[in-house]
Amino acid sequence: MGFLAPWFLGGLAALGVPVFVHLLRRHITTPRPVSSLMFFEKGIQSSTRHHKLRYLLLFALRSALILLLVLAFANPFVRRAAAGANDRLLLIVLDNSFSMRAGTRFADAKQQALSTLAAKPHGQKAQIMALGGQLEVLTQPITDDTQLRAALESVQPGDGHANFGDLGRAIRTLSETNPAPIDLHLFSDMQRSAMPANFADMVFPSAVKLVLHPVAKGAAEPNWTVESIDAPAQLQDPKDPKRSKVDAVIAGFNTPAATKSVSLLVNGKVIATRKVDVPANGRATVNFAPLSIEYGFNRCEVRIEGGDAFPADDAGVFSVRRSDPERVLFVHAGNDTRSPLYFGAALGAAAQSSFILQSVAAEQSTDLDPSKFAFVVLSDTVTLPSIFEHTLAQYIAKGGSVLIALGTSAAHHEKIPIWDAAVKDARDYARTGAPATMGQVDFSFPALAQADPGRDNGGWADIKIFYSVVVDPGQARVAARLTDGTPLLLDKQIGEGHVLLLTTGLDNLTNDLPLHPLFVAFVDQTARYLSGNERLSGSRPVDSYVQLRAGTEAAGSAGSVEVIDPDGKRPLSLSEARTMQSYRLDRAGFYQIRFANGRDAVIGVNPDRRESDLEPMAPDVQQLWSGSSTGAGQLTAAAAPVASNKQPFSLWWYVMLLAMVVILAETALASNYMGTQREDI
């Protein structure tokens, strides 16, 4: 036993106060006068004894109170034996990431985990987790061996990418909520690529003892993989030499220089095979052109022939949708000929464009059906035929998209059609002599996306805006603002569709955007965003999410979605199909999805290629990791120092509790005593 704050023991000098009050100070009792003692009798012995007893009791209580308060501040503690074996939580984490499919890694790891579980004392609590693309908690801390074993048996190799940083964060959270010390047994191939960028992310708290069970023995075996595939998601003309091609990068890990045979399969048929020389531990690109595919969705695969130590990663899948070019309806004011010219030219110049622009004056749009178009552009058309406006609203609600550009006509009308908001003001920067420039650009917005915008704001800094309309953003997302804060590009979700609002025009009168090369990229990205074709095909990595329906839609108000996984099964229940907003693509292969707005998609899903690098962590790094929490390495972890078994246990709370009881007793006794004093006087 000891004191964590022994200098507070100096407060024991306060014990002199009750000693003075009760023992040193003379008690002065004022006699109570009476007329005569004729009727009184002496009761000296009993009352004196009563007084003395009470005074001594009060003295003892007061002394005890001061003693306890001083002790509470001094914070006494006792060394208590640390939790025994049965008090420790056995946490078994089994790595089921994609790389565990290599060889017998997963089977070995599961076998070892089962052995560890079997060796567990019967009364000890244990918990099972699986570390794949996400850390799955399979059981709560329980002692039921059967349930624990069943949970461990149920773990199957997945296609996700393990990250030891995620494991570290999860265990730190678990350690905060679970006061018991944890014995963490990690069964993994200890891939180096699973390490986070910062080693501190994978360090565990001191209460966690990490025991590593690496299943990858020896040096990593040679492994070739399809690292990336560059293929069009949508194709109109297979004979188009610019777009009808597939570029695949073949990468080797721990491999000698070799000539690999790579095949392109479309819908299960090999349509081309190429030989490629892959340097040692290097990469090589193989090209397939032209891409001969049929109309509709084509399930394509690039496969490395010959096999290696990890055949599961020898193929990469993607889907290509072949369709005729889609039409875009461009509605403009009757006297406006510049806007369709600029927009059409930009749309045609876009490298990945597959749209045909159909421009029409607003007055002639009455009988048009927007659903036949990929998306609709309203260029400075503040008045639309009511029939067309109604049709357009229904088109948006069902998933259609519209781009509205506001020119100088907008200022003369209060309300913007479709957008459902009023025009607050119009800014004519030309009159002030200083055109506005772009202030903020949200480069995460799909229509403005740029990987590296640079110091010139992605080229937007050079754009001069002469005229802009001020609109209250409301619930809309503001993707770009001018330097004076005026929103320039807004995006609003209406029903299943999107409406994009550009508060300036598409001609060169209200701004000089059409004169810049940036305009082509903007139109191309906007067209792809609004048409929504990007998400209907192509490829995605495992554990990416697909948005199944609009977030603003009320649950159950629209049709259900349908997801068919690579095994041909429907993973969603009926209720999930009606309510689920997004879906995680957790398996490699082709997913077939029918969205809530009725559009179909086939998406190829590939494992994270970092899983193909089978190189394990260096032994010293493993040693450092396993010793990071306990201060000792894995090998010495079993023989933990004896001293650490005793932990200080603070007693201040109990001392304070006792002091509270003494305070109450002292108060009751003292008040009784004070009552007697008043009587005497």
- The footprint of another protein (CB under 8 A) covers 29, 31-44, 46-48, 50-51, 675-676, 678-680
d(CA 57, CA 49) in angstroms, rounded, equals 12
Least separation in angstroms between CB 643 and another protein: 58
Nearest to 140 by CA among 114, 165, 174, 111: 174
Least separation in angstroms between CB 644 and another protein: 59
Least separation in angstroms between CB 677 and another protein: 8
Nearest to 327 by CA among 360, 355, 367: 355
Least separation in angstroms between CB 672 and another protein: 8
d(CA 661, CA 534) in angstroms, rounded, equals 72
* Residue among 50 and 570 whose Cβ is closer to another protein: 50
* Residue among 47 and 366 whose Cβ is closer to another protein: 47
Q: Are 223 and 309 in contact (CB under 8 A)?
A: yes
State CA 120 to chain mean position distance: 34
A 10 A CB-CB count for 340 gives 21
* Residue among 31 and 307 whose Cβ is closer to another protein: 31
Across 206-244, b (16+ Cβ under 10 Å) vs e yields ebbbbebbbbbeeebebbbbbbbbebbbbbbeeeeeebb
* Residue among 51 and 464 whose Cβ is closer to another protein: 51
* Residue among 42 and 269 whose Cβ is closer to another protein: 42
* Residue among 51 and 516 whose Cβ is closer to another protein: 51
What one-character DSSP code corresponds to residue 507? Answer: S
Least separation in angstroms between CB 61 and another protein: 18
* Residue among 86 and 677 whose Cβ is closer to another protein: 677
First-to-last C-alpha distance (Å) of the chain = 49
What one-character DSSP code corresponds to residue 302? Answer: E
d(CA 376, CA 191) in angstroms, rounded, equals 49
* Residue among 451 and 681 whose Cβ is closer to another protein: 681
Least separation in angstroms between CB 666 and another protein: 18
Q: Are 79 and 649 in contact (CB under 8 A)?
A: yes
Least separation in angstroms between CB 17 and another protein: 24
* Residue among 33 and 241 whose Cβ is closer to another protein: 33
Least separation in angstroms between CB 27 and another protein: 11
Q: Are 95 and 109 in contact (CB under 8 A)?
A: yes
Least separation in angstroms between CB 66 and another protein: 26
**Backbone phi, then psi, for 410, in 5-degree steps?**
-65, -35
Tokens of 306: 């010959």
Tokens of 196: 């986070």
Alpha carbon separation from 484 to 438, 480, 491 (Å, rounded): 9, 12, 19
